[in-house]
Structure 1
Amino acid sequence: MSALTLTDHASFDAIRRGMGIPLAVGIGLAVWTAGAPEGLSPSGHRALVLFSAVFILYLTEAIPLAITSLVIAPAAVLLGIASPASSLSGFSSPSVYLILGAFIFAAAMVKTRLAERMTYGILKIAGGTTTRITLGITIANIVLAFLIPSSTARTAVLLPVCLGIASVIGGEGRTRFVVNLLLTLAFTNAAISAGILTATAPNPATADFLAKAERPVSYVDWLTFGFPPALIMTFLTWFVIQVVVGTEERHDAPLAGDAIAKPLSEMGRTTAAEWRTLVIFIIVVVGWVTQGWSKLDTTVICLAGTSLLFLPKLGVIDWADANGEISWQVILICGGGITLGDLLIKTGAANWLAGEIFHGLGLGAAGRLTMLLVVMIVLQLLHVLFIGTTAMATGIIPIVLALAETAQVDPRVLVLPAGMIIGGYPVLMFYNTLPNIMVYGTGRLTVLDFPKVGVPISLLACIVYAICASTYWRWLGMI
């Protein structure tokens, strides 16, 4: 990647951020002075003003996304659309604490090196050819998606492994194998995340909005609906990368076996801390699977499990370890975004927006499958605009929920796949997620590598989820 390319992106980011606040204020004032449109209450109009300004700030990153999310609460109170207590309700949402618990589990997996051991073990079984190595990374992402409930933490574990293998096979330059390996790491990580409730932050946020619409989705429900299409898409993503990018079948590829076997050997036998971490996590998963019988909430089970990680003798981490892995930005974005989404729903602004979209796109005569396809395609296009999937989910899901109500369909029909598309397929641009940024930051990828592979993956995702909706989900009674 040339220095000019990096400079161009820095200049673009500076311009985007510089115009963010004036643009947010200008659009907010324009919506305010235009007055409440027909069918929208005064409180709904004020919520729309807030949403318009926050939406622009999220897109431009004029101020840090976490700070924008914090501003939502006082702005809502000043606009007279929320009390102080209700303006802060999003930060006490179960999904916020589920994400917090996920980060703590990630800290335990990273500190004990259990995740790293499992990764090297999978790669050793996969074999030493370049194609098998990329397939091994794909399988490692699938396994770690259950064990490390954070796509960023999973990337942090796997990226050094990938770079170590790349240095043995491809050297320090840009080769097809290195591009293939890094895109496989980021994109299969994202794709499998769509199928597991705790794998990425947009999933709990989506479940939170569904619960408030009296359509609760448990860990098992999400796994039942979401894991099969996510698993299919994960392997299709790997396949697309092999076709579009390709790889050099190198004669020295078996040398990568040393890069895999050596660190695995240096780790020695599985430690007691690793076993304790694994046992605690299995207990939590059993709790999630049996919550229909126990009636315990997903978040409560998660927090009970994370507390065990800190106990004397039994535990494996301290607060400093956990604090180092917790992304407070993601938590604040989720809390503020849920508050904003609740305001849009309670004031009627979400219903009004959904009605405008419903009639504007001519969905009145459309069937459920057509409507689902339209929603998924629009969401895939919106990925180009958003930096981060958490802000996108909390801003867009309330509108999709209202759209389902306007169309008089079960909210899960549109909201579940919408949440899965948002969290699982941010593959069009390098800035869409932190994992994308991390692999781009290695200097081995160009900006165009992302859409070149991301466009066919995005289209395939829409097709796979549409087929799933018309068959598998129908058999389960969701449609």
Structure 2
Amino acid sequence: MSRKDDTKPKKKLLNNVTWTIIAFIVLIGILLIPTPDNLPVVAHMALAILAFAIIMWVTEAVSYPTSSVMILALIILLIGFSPTGELGQYLTKGDLSGADPVGTKNALGLAFSGYSSPALVLVAAALFLAAAMQSTNLHKRLALFILSLVGNKTSRIVIGSIVVSIILAFFVPSATARAGAVIPILIGMITAFNISKDSKLAALLVMTAVQAVSIWNIGIKTAAAQNLVAINFIGDTMGVDISWGEWFLYAAPWSIIMSIILYFIMMKVMKPEYDEVPGGSEMIKSQLDDMGKITGPEWRLIIISVLLLVGWATEKVLHPIDSSSLTLVAIAVMLMPKIGVIKWEDAVKYIPWGTVIVFGAGISLGSLLLNTGGAQWLSDKTFGSLGLDSMPILATIIIVSIFNVLIHLGFASATSLASALIPVFISLTATLNLGDQAIGFVLIQQFVISFGFLLPISSPQGMLAYGTETFTVKQYFKAGVPLTIAGLLLIFLFSATYWKWIGLL
């Protein structure tokens, strides 16, 4: 390797070390600030950890799982040496009456509280389902089948890529896995017919597919992990369990309209050089033929997935079983010999265990902020001075949504963003005395958290697409700006009409 090739990794390492040091300096700096009279010491500690976490998440100085372990360690140490009495009802062991330290053993329970949540069970089970799809290649077969029906015209292929993203969102609870299914097919189509990867057509197809994936992260509860973060906080703090069907009723109409808007925006902003891809549909059909007939495991996975989808959709209507429990039962069946779909040793190859670690740590930190009053204090200080309490709910939604979009520019993980912001938004509903509108307000902000349309770095699926080298950041941003504006305007329109009509607001 040349000296020049050596420079980039060294520079990145130095940058990562620098940001890690800055994160610890900020942490210590906040801890050294005298605790305000109206802020418990444990809440002060929680806010310091949040500041540390945000810096580590935004800069990606270390991997997300690594930063999650660091966050857990900080919770154990800093909360462990905080006064016990200030945690009150949130500890079940130890002396809660005095100023004795909480103790690291009790703090350990708080740090790992996120790993016992039903939401984490659903995320882990969903990852197994996505692994089964990848192992059997059923998601690829489904994508090829849909694209084989659309023909060679560019406009129809664009529509086909959107439809693939929509249908996969029902069955593949992983945005990265969905993008990983359709993007290689589109790239194969482009390269097979000597169309340059630098062409507008290549950029159009890949960007449309990945933006459709992001849009349907919003439309379906189980499509993205960040949705489950919000559901967990809403359930624990506000006492409301939002079923799969209820989420679909609230969000799917928005995603359907946004999918139509996506088509027109992409065709306008990235107008392709070719009206059709000669032989495109024949190539897709050839790939589908090469996969052979649907295998036994694929048929069993289809049956399990359809039954699971029906179970999710009929929760609270035909049965009382929650989504997490249903998914866990489905995974148990999938792992059984003979009637199952996948073996444990094969499943673990496809499962990003780091996602589970990040998810649990995020829930633990968010719960700590809510339980100690840190989120309420931060909400009061951040939004209290804006006079939101005197504004109509629609104006509040507009202001907070714009803030939400802007802060997302610094986050590469919507799950981490939801962990940081949803507790603050829940606390804001108390500040504003939103009453029955509180759940709707928080849910709408969760929809906005999933946007990530402006930069590839704002989502894992965006980075996966960017790795194909079919588009530039400038092109992504050029298409993302009108898409974000349209998405926000649609959020505001739904807030003023549809969501009021169905009782969400």
For 1:351 and 1:345, locate their aligned partners in 2 and report how far apart those are by CA, in whole Å.
7
Question: 1:95 and 2:119 equivalent?
Answer: yes
Aligned to 1:433: 459
Whether the aligned pair in 1 keeps the contact of 2:170 and 2:309 (CA below 8 Å) is no
1:8–1:262 distance in 2 versus 1, CA, 3 Å: farther
What amino acid maps onto 1:135 in structure 2?
I
Whether the aligned pair in 2 keeps the contact of 1:16 and 1:60 (CA below 8 Å) is no
Whether the aligned pair in 1 keeps the contact of 2:155 and 2:275 (CA below 8 Å) is no
Aligned to 2:90: none
Deviation at 1:314, TM superposition (A): 0.9
Question: 1:30 and 2:29 equivalent?
Answer: yes
The CA RMSD over aligned residues, in Å, is 2.0
Q: Could you tell me which of 110, 119, 123 is aligned with 2:147? A: 123
Question: 1:367 and 2:392 equivalent?
Answer: yes
Larger Rg: 2
Whether the aligned pair in 2 keeps the contact of 1:31 and 1:49 (CA below 8 Å) is yes
- 5+ residue gaps in structure 1? 1-5
Moved over 4 A (4+): 6-16
- Please give the residue correspondences for 1:120-159 in structure 2 after superposition, counting only pairs within 5 Å: 120-159=144-183
Whether the aligned pair in 1 keeps the contact of 2:370 and 2:376 (CA below 8 Å) is yes
- 5+ residue gaps in structure 2? 83-105
Deviation at 1:181, TM superposition (A): 0.7
For 1:141 and 1:447, locate their aligned partners in 2 and report how far apart those are by CA, in whole Å.
22
Deviation at 1:244, TM superposition (A): 0.8
Aligned to 2:355: 330
For 2:139 and 2:379, locate their aligned partners in 1 and report how far apart those are by CA, in whole Å.
43
Aligned to 1:283: 307
Which moves more between the two structures, 79-88 or 280-289? 79-88
Q: Could you tell me which of 190, 203, 208 is aligned with 2:227? A: 203
Aligned to 1:3: none
Deviation at 1:75, TM superposition (A): 1.4
Local SS of the residue matching 1:254? coil
Q: Could you tell me which of 241, 260, 270 is aligned with 2:266? A: 241
For 1:194 and 1:15, locate their aligned partners in 2 and report how far apart those are by CA, in whole Å.
37
Deviation at 1:8, TM superposition (A): 11
- Please give the residue correspondences for 1:8-23 in structure 2 after superposition, counting only pairs within 5 Å: 16-23=15-22
Aligned to 2:245: 220
Aligned to 1:385: 410
TM-score by length of structure 2 reads 0.89
Deviation at 1:73, TM superposition (A): 2.5
For 1:235 and 1:105, locate their aligned partners in 2 and report how far apart those are by CA, in whole Å.
29
Q: Count matched residues.
A: 472
Local SS of the residue matching 1:344? helix
Aligned to 1:341: 366
Aligned to 1:231: 256
Whether the aligned pair in 2 keeps the contact of 1:205 and 1:393 (CA below 8 Å) is yes
Whether the aligned pair in 2 keeps the contact of 1:137 and 1:184 (CA below 8 Å) is yes
For 1:435 and 1:442, locate their aligned partners in 2 and report how far apart those are by CA, in whole Å.
11
Deviation at 1:112, TM superposition (A): 2.1
What amino acid maps onto 1:361 in structure 2?
L
Deviation at 1:169, TM superposition (A): 4.2
For 1:77 and 1:472, locate their aligned partners in 2 and report how far apart those are by CA, in whole Å.
45
Local SS of the residue matching 1:83? helix
Deviation at 1:139, TM superposition (A): 0.3
Local SS of the residue matching 2:191? helix
Spell out, residue by residue over 1:361-411, the C-alpha distance to the aligned partner (whole angstroms, 9 max, x if none). Answer: 231211111111112111111121011111111111111111112111233
Aligned to 2:426: 401
1:19–1:235 distance in 2 versus 1, CA, 3 Å: farther
| Identical pairs, percent | 29
Deviation at 1:85, TM superposition (A): 1.3
Q: Could you tell me which of 451, 465, 468 is aligned with 2:491? A: 465
1:10–1:359 distance in 2 versus 1, CA, 3 Å: farther
Deviation at 1:133, TM superposition (A): 0.7
Question: 1:456 and 2:482 equivalent?
Answer: yes
What amino acid maps onto 1:215 in structure 2?
V
What amino acid maps onto 2:192 in structure 1?
V
For 1:160 and 1:466, locate their aligned partners in 2 and report how far apart those are by CA, in whole Å.
35
Question: 1:414 and 2:413 equivalent?
Answer: no
For 1:7 and 1:154, locate their aligned partners in 2 and report how far apart those are by CA, in whole Å.
35
Deviation at 1:137, TM superposition (A): 0.5
Whether the aligned pair in 2 keeps the contact of 1:17 and 1:61 (CA below 8 Å) is yes
What amino acid maps onto 1:30 in structure 2?
G
Spell out, residue by residue over 1:303-354, the C-alpha distance to the aligned partner (whole angstroms, 9 max, x if none). Answer: 1001111111111111122112212122111100110000100110100111
Whether the aligned pair in 1 keeps the contact of 2:77 and 2:107 (CA below 8 Å) is no
Spell out, residue by residue over 1:269-304, the C-alpha distance to the aligned partner (whole angstroms, 9 max, x if none). Answer: 322222211111122122222321422121010010
Whether the aligned pair in 2 keeps the contact of 1:169 and 1:250 (CA below 8 Å) is no
Whether the aligned pair in 2 keeps the contact of 1:215 and 1:411 (CA below 8 Å) is no
For 1:361 and 1:68, locate their aligned partners in 2 and report how far apart those are by CA, in whole Å.
33
Deviation at 1:97, TM superposition (A): 1.4
